[in-house]
Amino acid sequence: MKSAAAVTLGFGGLHSLFVRNALATPHADAIGLGFGPLRPDPNRIFDLPEGFSYKVISRIGQTMSDGLLVPGLPDAMGAFEGPDGKTIIVRNHELDPSKPDGTPFGPGQRLASRLPRARFYDAGFGGYHSFGGTTTIVYDTRTGMVDKEYLSLAGTLRNCAGGVTPWGTWITCEETVERASPADAPQRLYEVDHGYNFEVPVSATPMLAEPRPLVAMGRFMHEAICVDPSTGIVYQTEDRHDGLLYRFIPHVPGRLHEGGRLQALTIRGQLSLDTRNWEKQKVRVGDVLECEWIDMDNVRAPQDDLRKRGFARGAARFARGEGMWWGELADDSPASAYFACTSGGRIYKGQIWRYTPSPAEGTPRESEQPGRLELFIEPNNAGLVDNADNICVAPFGDLIICEDGDDEQYLVGVTPEGRIYKLGRNAWNHSELAGACFSPDGSTLFVNIQHVGLTLAITGPWESRRAT
């Protein structure tokens, strides 16, 4: 463990060096990094390096295979191996009554009657106000054609991010803590509480998931999850400026509905550590912190106070935990949970963290070999990363970041050493990018331009990064 710590700290030093150098030249990625400079898209949709191209595979308002409409605000996605070499993509939609445009049911929600009421998590009081959920796309990477597209979860709210599971399902997360409307409310919208995760099956045949909340995983402003395939433990981010990092230890790995323990991360010897680095640099790039976990009770949290109770008991505080992905980079570092904190850092432009579990994660022996948290990058330069949101680990071993900032929005690549390059640019407008994930065959990167309601499939010479 001491040797492993020394190696990790060594890479931390490299991170610091490269980020410091990059700060002096915000577009240093054009020289010897990534896939080369971006080329203007003549269609003004998405700029990519030379040799790369994209295809719009889904657009808001199109009629899907089930007769419903492609919803708006596409967010996080996961890609899975399907039958006959097809790829199955499960896609979130961050819709709620404040964003009614682009629901799957069309004007006046006239198409909602096509679905059995029991298939809505929250059918509302006759108005179908819970517009969120997921859609599923069956796509052939060989032909570039969509085979099917359908609604796969209905009646939820603000399905923002989520995560793939090693047992082949998608966990979609509600980024809201709306309560059931009281009987005396002037306008009754919701029949049940929101703020939960839901499990969506991956199917090439159109089907609606059973809308059953994973209540033991906690009720809070969920953002994303990832799963350690060796233990079945689920890690979770919370999209709050004072959010926590959680883990869920299921009673039975792979069967989340059977319950488990919800815990929050603490830093050994630094109770209630503020990792946001807003007023003071309390954690530096490359720092490796030993971790402990505390049990959380009353996880349905009717007062939306999980994070407050956890922080009071010593849990670390994070700046808007968002995208999360389980994987390993190309530097032979161990498989870890990577997660973005969108407003972390001195200028609130984002951080990426890496949590490497203990060899005895989730057991009493982990106190002897604790899990480790490392601040992977914190550029403090919007020219490098402008509010990291969704992330994924690419097949060639780099981290891919979707930006959700104030100006031009990019897909950003990060090498294992912490060097940063531009992979793509939203040439249409300043909408955030979301949902970056690769097809199982590694040939295609899928991404959403959220506010335009487009899903793109990007192809190109990915193998050139493996050779560098």
Which residues, including other chains, have CB under 8 Å from residue 193's CB and lie 6 or more apart?
178, 179, 180, 219, 300, 302
Q: Is pLDDT above 80 for 359?
A: yes
Separation between Cα atoms, residue 60 and residue 73, nearest integer Å: 8
Torsion region of 216: left, alpha or beta (phi above 0 gives left; psi -120 to 50 gives alpha):
alpha
pLDDT per position as a tens digit, 114-158? 999 999 999 988 777 789 999 999 999 999 999 999 999 999 999
Tokens of residue 463, six digits? 């193998």
Classify residue 183: in a domain, yes or no.
Answer: yes
First and final CA of the chain: distance in angstroms? 30
Strand partners, 446: 437, 457
Classify residue 29: in a domain, yes or no.
Answer: no
Q: What local confidence, expressed as pLDDT, does residue 330 receive?
A: 87
Tokens of residue 249, six digits? 């230890």
**Residue showing tokens 């020219």:** 383
H-run or E-run covering 463: helix 463-466
Q: Look up residue 366 and give its amino acid.
A: E
- Strands (E) in 3-103, as ranges, are 38-39, 46-49, 53-59, 74-81, 87-93
Separation between Cα atoms, residue 400 and residue 209, nearest integer Å: 29
Cα–Cα–Cα angle for 251, 256, 258, rounded to 5 degrees: 55
Classify residue 115: in a domain, yes or no.
Answer: yes
pLDDT per position as a tens digit, 83-119? 999 999 999 999 988 776 799 999 888 999 999 999 9
Q: What local confidence, expressed as pLDDT, does residue 9 receive?
A: 33
- Mean pLDDT (the chain) is 92
Classify residue 258: in a domain, yes or no.
Answer: no
**Residue showing tokens 């939203």:** 426
| Per-residue pLDDT band at 466 (split at 50, 70, 90) | low
Classify residue 205: in a domain, yes or no.
Answer: yes
Tokens of residue 112, six digits? 């909602």
Q: Is pLDDT above 70 for 20?
A: no
The DSSP code for 213 is B
| Per-residue pLDDT band at 1 (split at 50, 70, 90) | very low
Separation between Cα atoms, residue 433 and residue 131, nearest integer Å: 21
- The number of angstroms, rounded, from the C-alpha of 182 to the middle of its chain's C-alpha atoms is 32
Strands 388-393 and 53-59: unpaired
pLDDT per position as a tens digit, 360-408? 999 999 999 999 999 999 999 999 999 999 999 999 999 999 999 989 9
| Per-residue pLDDT band at 188 (split at 50, 70, 90) | confident
| Per-residue pLDDT band at 32 (split at 50, 70, 90) | low
pLDDT per position as a tens digit, 282-312? 999 999 999 999 999 999 999 999 999 999 9
CA dihedral 420, 423, 427, 430 (to 10 degrees): -40
| Per-residue pLDDT band at 7 (split at 50, 70, 90) | very low
Q: Judge whether 196 and 104 are in contact, CB under 8 Å.
A: no
The DSSP code for 30 is G
Residue 338 backbone dihedrals phi, psi, to 5 degrees:
-100, 140
Cα–Cα–Cα angle for 135, 325, 101, rounded to 5 degrees: 30
Separation between Cα atoms, residue 52 and residue 326, nearest integer Å: 26
Separation between Cα atoms, residue 410 and residue 29, nearest integer Å: 13
Count of domains forming the chain: 1
- Strands (E) in 334-393, as ranges, are 336-341, 351-356, 372-377, 388-393
Which residues, including other chains, have CB under 8 Å from residue 78's CB and lie 6 or more apart?
89, 90, 162, 163, 164, 170, 437
Of the chain, the percentage scoring pLDDT greater than 70 comes to 92
DSSP-derived 3-state class of residue 451: helix
Q: How many CB atoms lie within 10 A of CB 267?
A: 20
Helices (H), 258-385: 306-312
Classify residue 378: in a domain, yes or no.
Answer: no
pLDDT per position as a tens digit, 219-228? 999 999 999 9
Separation between Cα atoms, residue 189 and residue 129, nearest integer Å: 6
| Per-residue pLDDT band at 424 (split at 50, 70, 90) | very high
Classify residue 152: in a domain, yes or no.
Answer: yes
Closest CA to 389 of 132, 92, 134, 11: 92
The DSSP code for 210 is P
Q: Is pLDDT above 60 for 319?
A: yes
Classify residue 124: in a domain, yes or no.
Answer: yes
Q: How many CB atoms lie within 10 A of CB 241?
A: 16
| Per-residue pLDDT band at 180 (split at 50, 70, 90) | very high
Q: Domain of 87?
A: 62-213
